[in-house]
């Protein structure tokens, strides 16, 4: 199922529910750039794990993910032993709404762009139609910026020089008028209107002062009221400033409403990261704005039962809290590094720190590249995803695998290097390879079989060859 920014809000609860119920989730990503293997400083052909990790870390923190594939796999619950798959192919956009006051730099690598063009992936489509997202640090930054905007005390004061006689005189006239207004006008709705630099003067002798307020003039008035008249408030009109008595309860209500709108706008832009939070142990989807999900896949509003939606959301959270699904990938080392850098936070400095972080983030990870190349002796087996899948189609016609209704796109389309399709292949390889290595049966994930094949990442070109997490 293809998902973009129009269809995401109407689909996100389905995705989260599928993740919460899945036995495992296979992932695959396309990248706007990748690491280029460089010779080691000692001229060796191989690298240490730390050297490779540092290389990929630089790329993961520089480039982004324009497309993500997720395939949720469900163990057979019927007598025919058929595994059910539900695949989502999601476009992602790195562009942030400028109203968030959060800047994001992103890059494209010419080689990666050429590769994506060869497989008919249009990067411009991901930019214009991709699902937005905020990483955890970016969300914190957005809230910080919103608080700064709401805090008028953070506005820098204008310091007038003693030689600026005209501006000082203008401020004094406004001050004098505000003092009188503050003493005499306690009627709700009473206002002091300041619409000219000539305010408070004798027009016949100050014709040179007759002009509309400038932005500088308005800032001086706001600064004066804010600093010296706590019982009053000021607000701008197109050509004037209005000063009126402040209503504490009303002002608090307005501040609360502005804060609520700002928080809602930030939550809306979390976007695809809600899906990532569902994959990570300790991740939370609690603060989702469920009202935004009251749309269909075309983005059109639809009638929905809010309490049913709240109940569904709570059931998803409860299921996720009981345990995250196993995470599966092919060449998973790179995918995990990009996933973490793009949505969670800064990657640890050491490969040991990264391994510890991944071990705490997932109950079990399975790298099908490791599974397909483990204990092969001197044999050099095919390790590409496409090669493994074709070999297993002949070797292991069972277990049966079926795509659920509504997810049949890849029954007739072999879209290699489309993230959704590659995640589907990864799930298929996982099921058939696990069965082949275990006498025709896919072992339950708490069985000893996975002590040998689980939580190991294959990393060719390194001395170690693999990394345990």
pLDDT digit string, tens, across residues 426-452: 999 999 999 999 999 999 999 999 999
Indicate whether 333 pLDDT > 90: yes
Write the CA distances from 314 to 264, 273, 348, 411, integer angstroms.
19, 18, 33, 34
Residues in the chain: 469
Burial of residue 140, with CB atoms counted within 10 A of its CB: 0-12 exposed, 13-18 middle, 19 or more buried: middle
Summarize the confidence of residues 408-419 as an average pLDDT. Answer: 92
Indicate whether 317 pLDDT > 50: yes
How much is the pLDDT for 154? 61
How much is the pLDDT for 204? 41
Indicate whether 402 pLDDT > 50: yes
Percent of the chain whose predicted confidence (pLDDT) is above 90:
68
Indicate whether 160 pLDDT > 90: no
What is the rounded (10 degree) CA torsion for 429, 432, 435, 441?
Answer: 120
* pLDDT tens-place string over residues 29-59: 999 999 876 655 555 689 999 999 999 999 9
Summarize the confidence of residues 400-425 as an average pLDDT. Answer: 94
Q: Are β-strands 326-329 and 365-367 bridged in parallel, bridged antiparallel, or unpaired? A: parallel
Percent of the chain whose predicted confidence (pLDDT) is above 70:
93
Summarize the confidence of residues 76-80 as an average pLDDT. Answer: 79
Average pLDDT, the chain: 90
Locus of tokens 């937005």: 132
Alpha-carbon distance of 39 to 278, in angstroms, equals: 38
pTM of the full structure: 0.83
Is residue 132 a contact partner of residue 5, using CB atoms and an 8 Å limit? yes
* pLDDT tens-place string over residues 350-385: 999 999 999 999 999 999 999 999 986 544 567 799
How much is the pLDDT for 99? 86
255 pLDDT band (50/70/90 cuts)?
Answer: confident
Locus of tokens 């490969």: 351
Q: What is the CA radius of gyration of the chain?
A: 30
Of the given ranges (39-43, 226-230, 318-322), which has the lowest mean pLDDT?
Answer: 39-43
Residue of 315, 268, 259 lying closest to 294 (CA atoms) = 268
Is residue 297 a contact partner of residue 376, using CB atoms and an 8 Å limit? no
How much is the pLDDT for 81? 86
How much is the pLDDT for 379? 46
Indicate whether 210 pLDDT > 60: no
Residue of 124, 9, 6 lying closest to 67 (CA atoms) = 124
> What is the 3 state secondary structure string of the chain?
CEECHHHHHHHHHHHHHHHHHCCEEEEEEECCCCCCCCCCCCCCCCECHHHHHHHHHHHHHHCCCCEEEEEEEECCCCCCCEEEEEEEEEEECCCCCHHHCCCCCCCCCHHHHHHHHHCCCCHHHHHHHCECECCHHHHHHHHHHHHHHHCHHHCCCCCCCCCCHHHHHHHHHHHHHHHHHHHHCCCCCCEEEECCCCCCCCHHHCHHHCCCCCHHHHHHHHHHHHHHCCCEEEEECCCCEEEEECCHHHHHHHHHHHHHHHHHHHHHHHECHHHHHHHCCCCCCCCCCHHHHCECCCCCECCCCHHHHHHHHHHHHHHHHHCCCEEEECCHHHHHHHHHHHHCCCCCCCHHHHHHHHHHHCCCEEEHHHHHHCCCCCCCCCCCHHHHHHHHHHHCCCCEEEECCCCCHHHHCCCCCCHHHHHHHHHHHHHHHHHHCCCCCCCCCCCCHHHHHCCEEECCCECCCEEEC
Of the given ranges (18-32, 313-327, 361-375, 378-392), which has the lowest mean pLDDT?
Answer: 378-392
How much is the pLDDT for 300? 92
How much is the pLDDT for 378? 45
How much is the pLDDT for 73? 98
Q: Which residues contact 10 (CB under 8 A, 6 or more apart)?
A: 293, 295, 296, 297, 298, 299, 302
Alpha-carbon distance of 4 to 284, in angstroms, equals: 22
Alpha-carbon distance of 436 to 399, in angstroms, equals: 10
Residue of 142, 145, 125 lying closest to 134 (CA atoms) = 142
413 pLDDT band (50/70/90 cuts)?
Answer: confident
How much is the pLDDT for 42? 59
Locus of tokens 């956009």: 93
Summarize the confidence of residues 95-103 as an average pLDDT. Answer: 90
Summarize the confidence of residues 217-222 as an average pLDDT. Answer: 92
Task: Pick the most confident of 244-248, 343-347, 388-392.
Answer: 343-347
Q: What's the token pair of residue 213?
A: 């307020």
Residue of 100, 83, 243 lying closest to 178 (CA atoms) = 243
Of the given ranges (132-141, 195-204, 234-243, 441-450), which has the lowest mean pLDDT?
Answer: 195-204
How much is the pLDDT for 198? 84
Domains of the chain: 2-133+271-468 (3.30.420.10), 153-251 (no CATH)
């Amino acid at each position: 199922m293809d998902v973009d920014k129009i269809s995401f809000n109407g689909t996100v609860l389905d995705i989260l529910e599928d993740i919460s119920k899945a036995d495992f989730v296979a992932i695959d990503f396309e990248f706007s750039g990748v690491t280029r293997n460089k010779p080691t400083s000692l001229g060796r052909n191989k690298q240490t794990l730390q050297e490779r990790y540092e290389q990929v870390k630089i790329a993961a923190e520089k480039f982004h993910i324009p497309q993500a594939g997720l395939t949720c796999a469900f163990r057979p619950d019927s007598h025919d032993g058929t595994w059910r798959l539900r695949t989502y192919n999601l476009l992602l956009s790195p562009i942030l709404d400028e109203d968030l006051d959060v800047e994001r730099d992103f890059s494209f690598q010419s080689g990666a762009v050429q590769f994506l063009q060869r497989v008919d992936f249009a990067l411009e489509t991901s930019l214009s139609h991709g699902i937005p997202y905020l990483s955890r640090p970016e969300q914190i930054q957005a809230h910080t910026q919103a608080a700064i905007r709401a805090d008028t005390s953070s506005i820098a004061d204008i310091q007038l020089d003693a030689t600026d006689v005209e501006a000082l005189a203008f401020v004094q006239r406004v001050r004098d008028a505000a003092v009188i207004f503050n003493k005499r006008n306690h009627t709700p709705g009473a206002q002091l209107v300041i619409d000219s630099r000539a305010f408070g003067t004798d027009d016949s002798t100050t014709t040179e002062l007759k002009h509309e307020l400038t932005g500088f003039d308005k800032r001086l008035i706001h600064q004066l009221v804010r600093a010296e008249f706590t019982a009053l408030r000021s607000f701008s009109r197109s050509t004037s400033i209005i000063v009126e008595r402040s209503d504490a309860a009303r002002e608090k209500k307005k501040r609360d409403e502005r804060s609520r709108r700002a928080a809602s706008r930030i939550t809306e832009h979390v976007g695809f990261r809600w899906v990532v939070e569902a994959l990570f142990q300790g991740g939370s989807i609690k603060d989702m704005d469920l009202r935004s999900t009251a749309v269909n896949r075309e983005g059109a509003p639809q009638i929905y039962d809010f309490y049913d939606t709240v109940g569904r959301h709570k059931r998803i959270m409860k299921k996720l809290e009981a345990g995250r699904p196993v995470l599966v990938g092919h060449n998973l080392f790179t995918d995990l590094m990009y996933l973490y850098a793009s949505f969670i936070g800064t990657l640890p400095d050491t490969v040991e720190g990264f391994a510890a972080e991944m071990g705490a983030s997932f109950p079990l990870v399975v790298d099908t590249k490791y599974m397909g190349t483990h204990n092969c002796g001197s044999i050099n087996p095919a390790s590409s995803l496409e090669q493994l899948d074709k070999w297993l189609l002949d070797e292991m016609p069972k277990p049966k695998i079926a795509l659920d209704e509504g997810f049949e796109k890849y029954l007739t389309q072999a879209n290699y290097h489309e993230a959704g399709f590659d995640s589907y292949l990864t799930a298929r390889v996982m099921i058939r390879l696990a069965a082949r290595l275990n006498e025709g049966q896919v072992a339950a994930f708490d069985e000893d079989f996975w002590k040998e094949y689980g939580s190991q990442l294959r990393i060719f070109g390194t001395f170690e060859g693999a990394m345990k997490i």
